Amino acid sequence: MPVTEGRKGLVNVCYSGTGQATVAEMGEWSITGMSLPMIEYSAFGNTVQRFKPGIMDPGSFTFSGYFDGSTWAAASNPVRLLTCTLNNGIPIGNSTIAASIPLKKLRLWANTDSDLESFGFWGTTNSSGTVYITGLEVGTAKDGIGTVTISGKVATGYFEWTTSTA
């Protein structure tokens, strides 16, 4: 049965060009809020309520893990770049790319093992999808490992599943 096993998950970002990088030390991601509201259009005389679909909410996402600041100074550090997109209100996507923050795609992998049937990731639609980073939480407790949680919102397009690495 092609179910996914969480051990082989991953979060990575793609740069403008061909580069991509793993967001280090992550251990959990989720996509929530994808929904299609239904609009009632019942009229006098109807015996049951009637509904039409409204406009889809493409949802939000969150990923979290341990904070790794060891390569923070590197220009390509994914967490640093994601923080920059938050600070500057710049989307991650194909259509709007800031030269200094060249993030092109965000991919939430369910399974990175191509030998398994469930190999693939969730990512925004390639042609027009954009996401914004809307939240950053970091923390350190005296007896633990520093953590980071990054959240975002799909702005255009929607998340879709693909088994391709392209």
Partner 1 sequence: MDDLFSAIYTEFSSVPLSSFHSGTSGQLYLEEAESTAEMPYAVYNMVNSNHDWTWSSDFEETVFDFNLFSDSTGGATEITALYEKMKDQFDECNLTVTGYESLKFRRENAWLSKDSNAIPNKSIWQYTVQYRNLIRK
Phi-psi region of 72 (alpha: psi -120 to 50; beta: other; left: phi over 0): alpha
Task: Give the pair of three-digit tokens for residue 42.
Answer: 């019942």
- Closer CB to partner 1, residue 9 or residue 58? 9
Q: Which is nearer to partner 1, 22 or 125 (CB)?
A: 22
Site string for partner 1, 5-44 (x = CB under 8 A): --xxxxx----------x-xxxx-----------------
Question: Quick one: 40 or 143, whose CB is closer to partner 1?
Answer: 143
Contact 15, 105 (CB under 8 A): no
Strand-pairing partners, residue 53, are 38
126-145 binders of partner 1 (CB under 8 A): 143, 145
Q: Which residues, 6 or more positions from 150, have their beta carbon under 8 angstroms from its beta carbon? A: 23, 62, 63, 64, 79, 82, 133, 135, 136, 137
Size of site (CB under 8 A) for partner 1: 14
Contacts with partner 1, residue ranges (CB under 8 A): 7-11, 22, 24-27, 65-66, 143, 145
